[in-house]
Amino acid sequence: MTELLSIERLEAGYGKFHVLFNVDLVVNSGEIVVVLGPNGAGKSTLLNSIVGIADVYSGSIKLNGREIAGRAPHEVTKLGVAYVMQSPNNFGTPNIFSELTVYENLIAASATLQKREITERIEKVYEIFPKLTELKNRKAKFLSGGERQMLAISMGLVKEPKLLMLDEPTAGLAPKLVTEFFKSIRAIRDNLGISILLVEQNVRKALEIGDRAYVLVTGRIKYSGGVRELDEEKLANLFLGQ
Ligand SMILES: Nc1ncnc2c1ncn2[C@@H]1O[C@H](COP(=O)(O)OP(=O)(O)O)[C@@H](O)[C@H]1O
Ligand SMILES: [Mg+2]
């Protein structure tokens, strides 16, 4: 197995506000890695550090062996990382353009690609989320929460990233939709070969599709290992700091 993302002894936060302490985390090629933890634990900050939105104080973040800690977001994107931010997030930035249609959003996300590549990649995305085909001419502001999330993820996928980072993609979705969503996430890995770093509140479902898991509590990794070893009692104890 090759290490796609490798984080060592990461210390990070926002200005003087120190959030992450001594974080080690690896995503191997082809893996779905799940990050769990209570609210405010620093899960989003971890993803923000990888793409250069949060401040990295020390430690190392390597992508395919190349150091990327402290690089600007657009550089990290170029190196093959797609990031679908939690919505709403602390920066007040929506993860889609609400005045554009679904198709226009996908085109906007493909801005750096050749024309012939764009059509091909949008077709691939429609295979993962067939619903978006029906909705392609609808303005994003009229989409449901689930449809918006599908679009936001698709906007990352058209760039054919090596690593897709999803921050609570199923938050606020109806239970039936959540199951479907997790199938799509697995299909992204299985059919498109994209590795996934997934932050989730939906613990049980996330552990079903994850290969490995990390539990982050008050900025520190309290568990790293297989998903089978994490039953609900163990998780509850970890979340409570026991
Ligand atoms: N943009 C930001 N600026 C300053 N502090 C932030 C920012 N985003 C999050 N925080 C703080 O960092 C801590 C961790 O937050 P976050 O990473 O969002 O946790 P989680 O995603 O696990 O709920 C919290 O105390 C939060 O208030
Ligand atoms: Mg968060």
The strand pairing partners of 13, in sequence order, are 18, 55
Task: Report the candidate in 32, 113, 52, 213 with the shortest Cα–Cα distance to residue 125.
Answer: 113
- With a 6 A CB cut-off, is 44 part of the ligand 1 pocket? yes
Structure token digits, residue 116? 């012939």
CA atoms within 13 A on the CB side of 16: 0
Which of the ligands is closest to the CA of residue 86?
2
Q: How far is 129 from 188, CA to CA, in rounded Å?
A: 10
E-strand spans in the chain? Answer: 3-14, 17-28, 32-36, 55-63, 66-67, 81-84, 163-167, 195-199, 212-217, 220-226
pLDDT in tens, the chain (242 residues): 799 999 999 999 999 999 999 999 999 999 999 999 999 999 999 999 999 999 999 999 999 999 999 999 999 999 999 999 987 666 656 678 989 999 999 999 988 778 888 889 999 999 999 999 999 999 999 998 889 999 999 999 998 999 999 999 998 888 888 999 999 999 999 999 999 999 998 898 999 999 999 999 999 999 999 999 998 889 889 988 77
The predicted pLDDT at position 94 comes to 65
Best residue among 84, 90, 217 to mutate for probing ligand 1's pocket (most ligand atoms within 8 Å of CB) is: 90
**DSSP-H helix ranges across 100-202:** 102-109, 115-128, 131-134, 145-157, 175-192
* Backbone dihedral angles phi then psi of residue 81, each to the nearest 5 degrees: -115, 125
Domains annotated on the chain, with CATH? 3-91+162-239 (3.40.50.300)
DSSP category for residue 101 = B
Residue of 34, 36, 44, 215 best suited for mutating to test ligand 1, as the one with most atoms within 8 Å of CB: 44
**Cβ(169)–Cβ(129) under 8 Å?**
no
Question: Cα 229 from chain centroid?
Answer: 23
Q: Other C-beta atoms within 10 Å of 219: how many? A: 22
At 233 the pLDDT is: 87
Q: Which ligand is nearest to the CA of 36?
A: 1
pLDDT of 33 reads: 98
pTM of the predicted protein model:
0.95
* pLDDT computed for residue 114 by the predictor: 83
- Ligand 1 neighbourhood includes 116 CB (under 6 angstroms): no
d(CA 178, CA 204): 12
Q: Whose CA is nearest to atom 3 of ligand 1?
A: 14
